[in-house]
Amino acid sequence: MNLLESLRYLAALEQHRHFGRAAQSCHITQPALSNAIRALEQAFGATIVRRGRQYEGLTPEGELALAHGHRMLHEAESLRQALASRAGAPTGQLLIGTVPSAEPVAARFAARLQALHPGLRPVLRSLSSPEIEAGLDTLALDLGLGYSGRPEVKARRLQVWPQYDEHCYVLRHRGAGDAPFGFGPPIGWAEAATLPLALLTPEMHFRALIDEAFAGIGARPQVAMETNSVLALLMAVQQPALAAVLPGALVAVARGQPGLQARPLVAPVLRTPVGLLTADTGRPTLALQAALALAQQAQWLELVAAHSGALGAAQA
């Protein structure tokens, strides 16, 4: 039995929560993955996976095995990078988790990092804030892009690398399909609450932020549609009937779409810090060192500020 490979299969199983999808992600057959997990159980002398007709999660022993497995896989990847990399030319994989509202920024960051270091292979995953924080804590992720002001970030002692302040906009179709995209005058939260809104689902942290903003002025929004997909929100506002409350990073994506208008939300202006997050391990891999170097470059910070939702983005 190859212990590291088997632990990688276990990590994939917990990530995908399905034997078939986990096997596909590891480029092996489902029976091969199942056999590897059973071999782990025999080697450890404990049941680590709860099985029914489908995957039902890990046992307490499985959670412990996965936590140690993530650390072993992290150390193995760090060693591979150290052996394969030349000075100034890091090589290897970098696992990045991003909250959905910051996906455009994360994708831009990953692409820029890979262009600077062709030997790196960023892997970008869209995750919730709790999933990112837990993934960093267990070393299942190398880097996260998320809401740095959350109490959980401080509680887990995650390191924060500030990137930008997120601003909110109302995005809607103006009815003229051939009109160019434009920025309109500011709109208050009270007026926005009267519009039929497409919003992210309540478990999403960005939704919690805007719900707090509406509640803070005593307004109850007209929720016409909910989704956990930012792409679905962008598609929904292609129809004049719906408006959406979106972060500036997604508005920047919509700027190429004719007929849309973005209006900054005010009264109050909601600014939420977004940062890159890392575990406080003290031993970053060479790939992570390269990523953090980029994260602190003045040129990158200027770029991300221009495309992340600052109120001056209309002129960027």
Pair of tokens at residue 43: 């080697």
Assess if residue 80 is contained within a domain. no
Using the 3D structure, point to which of 18, 47, 73 is the last residue of a domain.
73
Q: 264 by DSSP, 3-state: which?
A: strand
Assess if residue 101 is contained within a domain. yes
**What is the pairing mode between strands 159-166 and 272-278?**
antiparallel
Return the half-sphere exposure (C-beta side, CA atoms, 13 A cut-off) of residue 313: 30
Q: Check whether residue 125 and residue 42 sit in a common domain.
A: no
Using the 3D structure, point to which of 13, 45, 73 is the last residue of a domain.
73
CA distance 210 to 201: 11
Q: Check whether residue 155 and residue 91 sit in a common domain.
A: yes
pLDDT of residue 315: 38
Range of the domain at 21: 1-73
| Cα dihedral 299, 302, 307, 311 in deg (nearest 10) | -170
Q: What is the mean pLDDT of the chain?
A: 89
pLDDT above 80 (res 255): yes
Q: What is the mean pLDDT of residues 224-233?
A: 93
Return the half-sphere exposure (C-beta side, CA atoms, 13 A cut-off) of residue 155: 6
Assess if residue 159 is contained within a domain. yes
What is the enclosing helix (H) or strand (E) of 146? strand 143-147
Q: Check whether residue 260 and residue 181 sit in a common domain.
A: yes
Assess if residue 141 is contained within a domain. yes
Confidence of residue 313 (pLDDT cuts 50, 70, 90): very low
Q: Check whether residue 177 and residue 304 sit in a common domain.
A: no
Assess if residue 78 is contained within a domain. no
Question: According to the per-residue pLDDT averaged within each range, which of 32-41, 57-66, 77-86, 258-267 is highest?
Answer: 258-267
On whether the CB atoms of residues 73 and 7 are closer than 8 A, the answer is: yes
Q: Amino acid identity of 160? A: V
Q: Please, what is the end-to-end C-alpha distance for the chain in angstroms?
A: 55
Q: Check whether residue 173 and residue 250 sit in a common domain.
A: yes
Q: Check whether residue 160 and residue 306 sit in a common domain.
A: yes
pLDDT of residue 177: 61
Q: What is the mean pLDDT of residues 158-170?
A: 95
Using the 3D structure, point to which of 73, 94, 118 is the last residue of a domain.
73
Confidence of residue 282 (pLDDT cuts 50, 70, 90): low
Q: What is the CATH number of the domain that holds 137?
A: 3.40.190.10
Q: Check whether residue 175 and residue 263 sit in a common domain.
A: yes
pLDDT of residue 102: 94
Q: Check whether residue 140 and residue 191 sit in a common domain.
A: no
Q: What is the CATH number of the domain that holds 227?
A: 3.40.190.290
- Nearest residue to 243 via CA among 184, 199, 202, 203: 199
On whether the CB atoms of residues 152 and 245 are closer than 8 A, the answer is: no
CA distance 161 to 272: 14
Assess if residue 64 is contained within a domain. yes
Assess if residue 190 is contained within a domain. yes
Q: What is the CATH number of the domain that holds 58?
A: 1.10.10.10
Q: How many of the other CB atoms lie within 10 Å of CB of 219?
A: 16
Q: Check whether residue 94 and residue 125 sit in a common domain.
A: yes
Q: Check whether residue 34 and residue 11 sit in a common domain.
A: yes
pLDDT of residue 314: 42
CA distance 14 to 39: 17
pLDDT digits (tens, 9 = 90+) for 286-301: 899 999 999 999 999 9
Give the long-range contacts of residues 19-24, CB within 8 A, separation 24 or more: 19/55
- Nearest residue to 266 via CA among 200, 183, 170, 181: 170
Cis previous bond, 268, omega within 30: yes
CA distances from 47 to 14, 56, 87, 226 (A): 15, 13, 44, 39
Q: Is 155 exposed, middle or buried (0-12, 13-18, 19+ CB in 10 A)?
A: exposed
On whether the CB atoms of residues 309 and 249 are closer than 8 A, the answer is: yes
Assess if residue 79 is contained within a domain. no
Q: Check whether residue 105 and residue 67 sit in a common domain.
A: no
Count of the separate structural domains present in the chain: 3
pLDDT digits (tens, 9 = 90+) for 169-219: 999 998 766 788 989 999 999 999 999 999 999 999 999 999 999 999 999
Q: Check whether residue 153 and residue 102 sit in a common domain.
A: yes
CA distance 272 to 295: 18
